[in-house]
Amino acid sequence: MQIPDFKSFFHTAPHLFREAKYPAKTILLDEGQISTKMFLVKSGSLREYFYKDGKELTLEFITENQAVASFDSFLNGTRSDFLIETLEPSILYELSDDTFRHLMENSEFQQTFNPLFYKRFSEISKRLMSFIKDSPQERYEQLLKDRPELLLRFPQHYIASYLGITSVSLSRIRNRR
């Protein structure tokens, strides 16, 4: 979830967000845990992923000025289906679920946050449709168009996993260009 003006987002109640520093490869949320925090990235990067048949499958990359949580778990108290991990040393703002519920009673916070949720769910829907209708080549081309910085920032095996292909297939697609 991209936060258009990161600083104004905290205008509502900056004292309610806790700033925390994490080294790379820190698990912030494990599969099966109940999410009690939302993370807003000040600097660094995170990854949402899960395991299937012993392989890591990347759901999303989260970078500066983006927010992440296992939203179903965070909002409904269910167990998370995936992990959230730092990929780089990261400085994050953490928002507890109790604080979030309290903030959602504030109309100014709702006006800021609700459009971000709608935008994020729209992005997830588009990504799901892409996996149904687009070829791996088309998904790669879309990634190049929408978030080319990811290709330079993260290892090829993470990018391949995000695209739903093997590293070998990603190499072939790159070589065709």
Nearest to 97 by CA among 119, 81, 62, 73: 73
Beta strand 55-62 with 46-52 is antiparallel
Per CATH, which fold does 6-123 belong to? Jelly Rolls (2.60.120)
Q: Measure CA of the first residue to CA of the last residue in the chain; give whole Å.
A: 30
Q: Give the SS3 label for residue 4.
A: coil
HSE-CB of 70 using CA atoms within 13 angstroms? 23
Q: Give backbone dihedrals phi and psi of 45, rounded to 5 degrees, phi first.
A: -155, 155
pLDDT in tens, the chain (177 residues): 444 455 555 555 667 788 999 999 999 999 999 999 999 999 999 999 999 999 999 999 999 988 899 989 998 999 999 999 999 999 999 999 998 888 888 887 788 778 877 887 888 899 899 999 999 999 999 999 999 999 999 999 999 999 999 999 999 999 886
What does the pLDDT look like over 67-115, one tens digit per residue? 899 989 998 999 999 999 999 999 999 999 998 888 888 887 788 778 8
Alpha helices (H) in 12-135, listed in sequence order: 71-76, 97-103, 107-133
Two structure tokens written together for 16 = 């309610």
pTM: 0.87
